[in-house]
């Protein structure tokens, strides 16, 4: 089972990958990062994406289909992933499910012209399922 560093290197092998990180959405700290970051600041990117992730997970409207916050088992993040698109790139945030209350997500910054959003979403989900924290 891959750890943080191995998962980030795997994410960077995706076509169009510009940067990747594992972020704690409660603290806003990057637990690991590789590649570039928008604006060149990995820590600022981690903090800003964590704020976005926190807003989505705390939203009772966005967090589940029935309007009630929380995952089915109580251990799953209430949101699976978030996709942000802009003129030249995609940001994909995939929440990591663990046996304990997870507050971690994978963030992939993907070039829009070279990347494949569908493939990246599938691979990031696979990485999140295999990721070992600790």
Total number of domains constituting the chain: 1
Contacts with 41 (C-beta within 8 Å, 6 or more apart), sequence order:
none
Helix axes 4-12, 117-130, angle to 10 degrees: 170
Kindly give the confidence (pLDDT) of every residue in the chain, 134 residues in length, as a single tens digit, with 9 standing for 90 and above: 568 888 899 999 999 999 999 999 999 999 999 999 998 999 999 999 999 999 998 887 776 665 454 444 446 667 889 999 999 999 999 999 876 767 899 999 999 999 999 999 999 999 988 887 75
User: Residue 17: in which H helix or E strand, if any?
Assistant: strand 17-24
CATH number at residue 49: 3.30.450.30
Please tell me the pTM assigned to this model.
Answer: 0.87
Range of the domain at 112: 4-130
Burial of 86 (0-12, 13-18, 19+ CB in 10 A): exposed
């Amino acid at each position: 089972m891959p750890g943080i560093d191995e998962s980030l290197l795997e994410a960077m092998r995706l076509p169009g990958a510009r940067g990747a990180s594992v972020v704690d959405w409660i603290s806003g700290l990057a637990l690991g990062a590789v590649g570039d970051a928008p604006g060149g600041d990995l820590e600022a990117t981690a903090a800003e994406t964590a704020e976005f992730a926190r807003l989505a997970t705390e939203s009772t409207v966005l967090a589940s289909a029935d309007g009630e916050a929380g995952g089915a088992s109580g251990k799953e993040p209430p949101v699976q992933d978030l996709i942000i698109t802009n003129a030249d790139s995609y940001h994909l945030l995939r929440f990591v499910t663990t046996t304990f209350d997870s507050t971690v997500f994978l963030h992939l910054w993907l070039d829009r012209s070279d990347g494949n959003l569908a493939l990246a979403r599938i691979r990031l989900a696979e990485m999140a399922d295999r990721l070992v924290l600790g």
